[in-house]
Amino acid sequence: MHRPGSFYQVPKKSYASNGPFTRVTSNNGDYLMKLTLGTPPVDVYGLVDTDSDLVWAQCTPCQGCYKQKNPMFDPLKECNSFFDHSCSPEKACDYVYAYADDSATKGMLAKEIATFSSTDGKPIVESIIFGCGHNNTGVFNENDMGLIGLGGGPLSLVSQMGNLYGSKRFSQCLVPFHADPHTSGTISLGEASDVSGEGVVTTPLVSEEGQTPYLVTLEGISTPETYLPQEFYDRLVEELKVQINLPPIHVDPDLGTQLCYKSETNLEGPILTAHFEGADVKLLPLQTFIPPKDGVFCFAMTGTTDGLYIFGNFAQSNVLIGFDLDKRIVFFKPTDFTKP
């Protein structure tokens, strides 16, 4: 993954207890975060990504861009200021940013006004660095207006807002994959991201400071009757087959090799427990089985041999998760975000 280096230092403000937050909605297995940019303000719905740093939006003119349903961001109308010749004689403000799935964005970095909701009801208006993407390719759908990097690097939204508010921390609450489409979660930054109270467990961040992505230690997963160590996917699937009182679907070209069951409603069990270092997180069927088509629910985990292990979006839903990048701690608190 290519990441631009740090070139801009945001001046620190005195610490403010009031914290910014924004809404997050489910989008074809991913999540879209609302970021309000420009003057006059324009809502940009970007893919949430904790595995990258750059914040960018598709911008006009777009010579090689994927299809987008909503109007693209127009820098001539909304943009506050581009870093043109003032960046460097080599025009270092042009950027190229690539991702592990071969998606890529090319464009120009800009300094822009961003407006957030806040915990005290007053809008928070700050200047951030973002990318105006004029050539964007890869695995995007028409609802994606860009991407919001929430990684640990200096260009991420978390780091930029942390420099402003004195604390690099954020929390997320994601609604389940098949929740009511009118429900939404939130991403909170700074003081507003506090995760506390009954049921909170913590695990250390083992990735180095400033590193993207965020790494934690998963020691195993257990069902009510079986504890499985780290190299466990095939054994976990076999254990689920034993504990689920339904015959799995054996032949369906649409489903491939996934463990799937015919059911009009989600399965009743079993409940899995993810054993992180110092933190046990229970995972209900709502978080571990998803409906790829009507009348079918499939296990939402898969095995891998490439050495990359991801605790994915579906498992993270209905858990308030806080990331404190200064203290190097991740917080978990089970919460039902489908209730008003």
Q: Decide yes or no: CATH 2.40.70.10 for domain 218-308.
A: yes
Task: Provide the pLDDT for residue 79.
Answer: 61
Task: Provide the pLDDT for residue 157.
Answer: 96
Phi, psi angles (nearest 5°) of residue 192: -65, -10
Query: What is d(CA 223, CA 212) in angstroms, rounded to the nearest whole number?
Result: 31
> 186, 193 in Cβ contact below 8 A?
no
Specify the CATH architecture of the domain 20-193: Beta Barrel (2.40)
Q: Which two tokens stand for residue 176?
A: 């389940």
Query: What is d(CA 194, CA 322) in angstroms, rounded to the nearest whole number?
Result: 7
Query: What is d(CA 95, CA 109) in angstroms, rounded to the nearest whole number?
Result: 7
Domain residue spans of the chain: 20-193, 218-308
For residue 285, the 8-state DSSP code is H
Within the chain, which residues score under 50 in pLDDT? 1-16, 84-91
Q: Which pTM was predicted? A: 0.87
Query: Which residue from 104, 102, 159, 161 is spatially nearest to 133, judged by alpha carbons?
Result: 104
218-308 shares the fold of 20-193: yes
Place of tokens 């296990």: 299
Give residues with Cβ within 8 angstroms of 185, minimum separation 6: 23, 24, 25, 31, 172, 173, 174, 175, 337
> 131, 107 in Cβ contact below 8 A?
yes
Task: Provide the pLDDT for residue 82.
Answer: 55
For residue 328, the 8-state DSSP code is T
Task: Provide the pLDDT for residue 92.
Answer: 52
Give residues with Cβ within 8 angstroms of 228, minimum separation 6: 220, 221, 222, 235, 236, 239
Task: Provide the pLDDT for residue 86.
Answer: 45
Q: Which two tokens stand for residue 141?
A: 């759908």
